[in-house]
Amino acid sequence: MRMSYGTTHVLHGIDLDIHRGEIFALLGPNGAGKTTTVEILEGFRQRSAGEVTVLGTDPAHGDDTWRARIGLVLQSWRDHRRWQVAELLKHFARYYPAPRDPAALLALVGLTEQAGQQVDRLSGGQRRRLDVALAIVGRPELLFLDEPTTGFDPEARRDFHDLVERLARDEGVTVLLTTHDLAEAERLADRIAVLVSGRIRAGGTPAELARRAAAQAEVRWTTADGTARRERTEDPSRLVWELHRDTQGPVADLEVRRPTLEDTYLHMVHREDGAGNGDGAGAGAGGRGAGRAGTWSREASDAETSDGEAPDAETSGGEAPDGEKEA
Ligand SMILES: Nc1ncnc2c1ncn2[C@@H]1O[C@H](COP(=O)(O)OP(=O)(O)OP(=O)(O)O)[C@@H](O)[C@H]1O
């Protein structure tokens, strides 16, 4: 799928498969294209090119029955400023064939005490909980959450994570959430796609991404003549053994460090800021990840986007954008 606003290309051909029942995080910095992607999948924005299927339907042509199967956070309820929380939920519940019980839903999102409160008196965090309550009142199969925990305090964030997990694990709801918080994506998601400047730079389970990030270790030491050295290697034990052998004694200031997923993520983000795309000079794991992202299974997907042309090299693995191993 591609998206341009006028002559500005915002999504450069992204390819995603989201499987039924999973929590999928679209992770990326400000302006990466996360909201644009979600709005296209929700049917609110018309893509410029490519194929998109959500619950078996092209969202550009989704009807009311399709929409009732999808949970999304609408801003329009904020127009009902003077309504009470429980009243508002009951009102929206009427639009769905098999809605949740409003009282049970308030308990689920931790708003029981606010049931009788006017919505414009809710705190920011409570409003976001009401957002989620309204998004799930119709028992959606697929839930879209665009940066849902922005502005949450740590406790509200943890409660929210527990709620999203319960929805996915206990009720089989598929969740697509966007975030710029790596820790949130790692904590919640079954799979993560890293979107940077409109391209999927890496993808996989949190464990896969962390393994890939740590594949190369950095070894630092000081030579006999006092020079500080550093070298990246996939086999640090061998390098250390060789150093020890060559030095014929202890290696000064020896340090072996494996990059964390955070190191790698920040590297991908900053590389976009500085060096631009695919310039062959990058040093992150983005190129590898981008390649693998395109190999994800296409089975049983709830939401799927693709170019609808020949596989796009940028996300299908045919063209790893840089030579990160040389760095
Ligand atoms: N209606 C629009 N017209 C023109 N450009 C737009 C429009 N909406 C978004 N953009 C641009 O598209 C790019 C992607 O925006 P988008 O909101 O999808 O990013 P995001 O990843 O959700 O960012 P954030 O984390 O800041 O919300 C940005 O450069 C933004 O300025």
- Strand partners for 200: 195
Given pLDDT bands bounded at 50, 70 and 90, which one contains residue 273? low
pLDDT of residue 213: 85
Distance 33 CA to ligand 1 centre (A): 6
Whether the Cβ atoms of residue 210 and residue 300 lie closer than 8 Å to each other:
no
28 and 62, same domain (yes or no): yes
The structure tokens 């697509």 sit at 176
Q: Is the CB of 180 under 6 A from ligand 1?
A: yes
Atom of ligand 1 nearest to the CA of 32: 21
pLDDT of residue 76: 67
145 and 249, same domain (yes or no): no
What is the overall mean pLDDT for the chain?
82
150 and 248, same domain (yes or no): no
Distance 35 CA to ligand 1 centre (A): 7
pLDDT of residue 327: 27
* Count: domains in the chain: 2
Over residues 271-296, mean pLDDT: 37
The pick from 34, 41, 46, 149 for probing ligand 1's pocket by mutation, whose C-beta has the most ligand atoms within 8 angstroms, reads 34
The pick from 4, 35, 269 for probing ligand 1's pocket by mutation, whose C-beta has the most ligand atoms within 8 angstroms, reads 35
Q: What are the pLDDT digits (tens) for 137-152?
A: 999 999 999 988 887 8
**Is 30 part of any domain?**
yes
Torsion of CA 50, 52, 57, 62, to 10 degrees: -80
104 contacts: CB under 8 Å, gap ≥ 6: none
Given pLDDT bands bounded at 50, 70 and 90, which one contains residue 156? confident
175 and 249, same domain (yes or no): no
> In which domain, by residue range, is 242 found?
217-257
303 and 231, same domain (yes or no): no
pLDDT of residue 263: 86
Q: Is the CB of 76 under 6 A from ligand 1?
A: no
Distance 34 CA to ligand 1 centre (A): 8
Distance 266 CA to ligand 1 centre (A): 20
Q: What are the pLDDT digits (tens) for 107-140?
A: 999 999 999 999 999 988 888 889 899 999 999 9
Q: Rounded distance, CA 191 to CA 23, Å? A: 7
Phi-psi label, residue 31: left if phi above 0, alpha if psi -120 to 50, beta otherwise: left
User: Half-sphere exposure of 321 toward its Cβ, with a 13 Å CA cutoff?
Assistant: 25
pLDDT of residue 306: 53
Atom of ligand 1 nearest to the CA of 5: 4
Whether the Cβ atoms of residue 233 and residue 239 lie closer than 8 Å to each other:
yes
**Is 128 part of any domain?**
no
Per-residue H/E/C for the chain: CEEEECCEEEEECCCEEEECCCEEEEECCCCCCHHHHHHHHHCCCCCCECEEEECCECHHHCCHHHHHCEECCCCHHHHCCCCEHHHHHHHHHCCCCCCCCHHHHHHHHCCHHHCCCEHHHCCHHHHHHHHHHHHHCCCCCEEEEECCCCCCCHHHHHHHHHHHHHHHHHHCCEEEEEECCHHHHHHHCCEEEEEECCEEEEEECHHHHHHHHCCCEEEEEECCCCCEEEEEECCHHHHHHHHHHHHCCCCEEEEEECCCHHHHHHHHHHHHHHCCCCCCCCCCCHHHHHHHHCCCCCCCEEEEEECCCCCCHHHHCCCCCCCHHHC
151 and 203, same domain (yes or no): yes
- Strand partners for 94: none
- Rounded to two decimals, the ipTM of the complex is 0.95
189 and 291, same domain (yes or no): yes
150 and 222, same domain (yes or no): no
145 and 250, same domain (yes or no): no
Q: Is the CB of 278 under 6 A from ligand 1?
A: no
Given pLDDT bands bounded at 50, 70 and 90, which one contains residue 73? confident
Q: Is the CB of 36 under 6 A from ligand 1?
A: yes
Over residues 8-31, mean pLDDT: 94
**Is 92 part of any domain?**
no
Atom of ligand 1 nearest to the CA of 28: 21
Assess whether pLDDT exceeds 50 at residue 27.
yes
At 294, which CATH number? 3.40.50.300
Q: What are the pLDDT digits (tens) for 201-256?
A: 999 999 999 888 888 898 999 998 999 999 989 999 999 999 999 988 889 999 99
The structure tokens 């966007």 sit at 178
**Is 53 part of any domain?**
yes
Contacts 24+ apart (CB under 8 A), 101-104: 102/137
Assess whether pLDDT exceeds 50 at residue 296.
no
pLDDT of residue 221: 96
pLDDT of residue 77: 66
**Is 16 part of any domain?**
yes
User: Half-sphere exposure of 297 toward its Cβ, with a 13 Å CA cutoff?
Assistant: 8
250 and 285, same domain (yes or no): no
161 and 252, same domain (yes or no): no
